[in-house]
């Protein structure tokens, strides 16, 4: 499979040009169709992919491991207990050693710096499966889900995303808020983030996406009015109010946060403030009743289940373009 991505690492959505994003999405469509029709090609036959997980995972782990297997490759699941990382070996040395054994490394890590070190010292392609502030596979899966469900996006043309509006509601300091903002302005989409002032995105993030928006024609809005943010939205997006690891901050601190965010729950009232046909998206796992209503998740037209499945197809596309 000929591609400008062959042999490349993917740190964030900004690792890809717009043409490359479109190539990934079109390849995703092709591989998903082949999978559904039982005509899967073993594009990773003979390839070995190390999958490093510093954090527990359901969707990321299963989607990568099953996707690699479906393409005929071998996935090696490595958590902290399996590796010398847990006993003092540096990221640099781990990258050097694993590169001698495998064809690519998929890594879900705690810090952005860990991905940077893997890319710098590894001699095989590195795919960021999630770091502190970046989640390129989720962003690509979200874009593909929009294509499947928004009639405005015809023929998987990146230009057709331009001018769409995506609204994120909840914790603006959340890494998925940042992912959504970066993804949107890269493609010329308008983005609105609805959250209380104490949970606005960091000014560095706002400055970054605003600078990109000036180049792509996007509009960036940060507001504490969830209903105003929902107005005109094509996509309503939220993520868990309590991220993994925040449980250690103590019950009182977490309850204070939930109390601050309780007016930013994505529910039927917010959907009613948006145009008909708005997509409700969530990267999962979800805490029903915290950041999203159970009714929206159980709705017959809920798309977050397609969104979750599309992680696998997008990751298969990325790996195929990088390795095949």
Residue 80 is predicted with a pLDDT of 73
pLDDT computed for residue 247 by the predictor: 62
What's the rounded Cα separation, in Å, for the pair 187 and 157? Answer: 11
From 154, 138, 137, 199, select the one nearest 172 (Cα to Cα).
199
With beta carbons less than 8 A apart as the criterion, state whether 221 and 191 touch: yes
Do 13-135+310-323 and 138-307 agree at the fold level?
A: yes
Residue 17: the pLDDT is 97
Distance CA(70)–CA(265), nearest Å, equals 37
Backbone angles phi, psi at 2, to 5 degrees: -80, 130
Res 86 pLDDT > 70? no
295 and 248 Cβ atoms separated by less than 8 Å: no
Domain 13-135+310-323 fold: Rossmann fold (3.40.50)
For residues 14-31, average pLDDT: 98
Q: Is residue 243 over pLDDT 80?
A: no
169: left (phi over 0), alpha (psi -120 to 50) or beta: beta
Q: What band does 2 get if pLDDT is binned at 50, 70 and 90?
A: confident
The distance from CA 17 to its chain's CA centroid, rounded to whole angstroms, is 17
> Which sign does the torsion angle of CA 168, 133, 305, 186 carry?
positive
Note the helical H segments in 46-135: 59-70, 91-99, 112-121
pLDDT for residue 55: 86
- pLDDT tens digits, one per residue of 270-294: 999 999 999 999 999 999 999 999 9
What number of other Cβ atoms are within 10 A of residue 221's Cβ? Answer: 14
How far CA 132 is from CA of 11, 40, 177, 276, in Å, comes to 12, 34, 12, 34
Averaged confidence pLDDT in the chain: 95
CA 49 distance to own-chain centroid: 20
How far, in Å, CA of 314 to CA of 64, rounded?
Answer: 10
- Confidence at residue 251, expressed as pLDDT on a 0 to 100 scale: 80
The predicted pLDDT at position 135 comes to 97
The pLDDT-based confidence of 81 (bands split at 50, 70, 90) is confident
CATH 3.90.1150.10 for domain 138-307: no
d(CA 270, CA 3): 42
Collapsed DSSP state (helix, strand, coil) of residue 7: coil
What letters, b where the CB count within 10 A reaches 16 and e where it falls short, cover 278-293?
A: bbbbbbbebeeebbbb
Enumerate the domain spans of the chain.
13-135+310-323, 138-307
Q: Evaluate if residue 85 carries a pLDDT over 80.
A: no
pLDDT band at 96 (very low <50, low <70, confident <90, very high): very high
Predicted structure pTM score: 0.95
């Amino acid at each position: 499979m000929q591609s400008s991505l062959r042999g490349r690492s993917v740190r964030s959505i900004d690792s890809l040009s717009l043409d490359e994003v479109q190539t990934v999405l079109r390849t995703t469509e092709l591989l998903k169709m082949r999978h559904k029709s039982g005509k899967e090609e073993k594009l990773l036959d003979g390839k070995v992919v190390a999958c490093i997980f510093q954090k527990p995972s359901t969707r990321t782990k299963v989607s990568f491991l099953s996707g690699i297997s479906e393409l005929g490759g071998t996935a090696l699941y490595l958590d902290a207990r399996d590796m010398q990382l847990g006993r003092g070996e540096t990221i640099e040395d781990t990258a050097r050693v694993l590169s001698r054994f495998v064809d690519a490394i998929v890594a879900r890590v705690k810090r952005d710096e860990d991905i940077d070190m893997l890319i710098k010292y590894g001699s095989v392609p590195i795919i960021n499966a999630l770091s502190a502030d970046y989640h390129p596979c989720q962003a690509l899966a979200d874009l593909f889900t929009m294509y499947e469900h928004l009639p405005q996006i015809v023929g998987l043309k990146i230009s057709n995303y331009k001018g769409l509006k995506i609204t994120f509601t909840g914790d603006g300091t959340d890494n998925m808020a940042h992912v959504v903002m970066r993804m949107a302005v890269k493609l010329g989409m308008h983005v609105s983030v609805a959250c209380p002032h104490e949970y606005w995105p960091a000014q560095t993030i706002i400055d970054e996406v605003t600078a990109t928006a000036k180049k792509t024609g996007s509009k960036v809005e940060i507001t504490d009015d969830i209903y105003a943010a929902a107005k005109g939205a094509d996509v309503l997006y939220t993520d868990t109010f309590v991220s993994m690891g925040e449980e250690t901050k103590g019950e009182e601190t977490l309850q204070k946060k939930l109390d601050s965010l309780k007016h930013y729950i994505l529910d039927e009232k917010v959907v009613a403030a948006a145009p008909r046909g708005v997509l409700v998206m969530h990267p999962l796992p979800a805490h029903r009743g915290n950041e999203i209503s159970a009714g929206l998740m159980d709705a017959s037209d809920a798309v977050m289940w397609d969104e979750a499945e599309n992680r696998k197809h997008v990751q298969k596309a990325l790996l195929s373009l990088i390795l095949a």
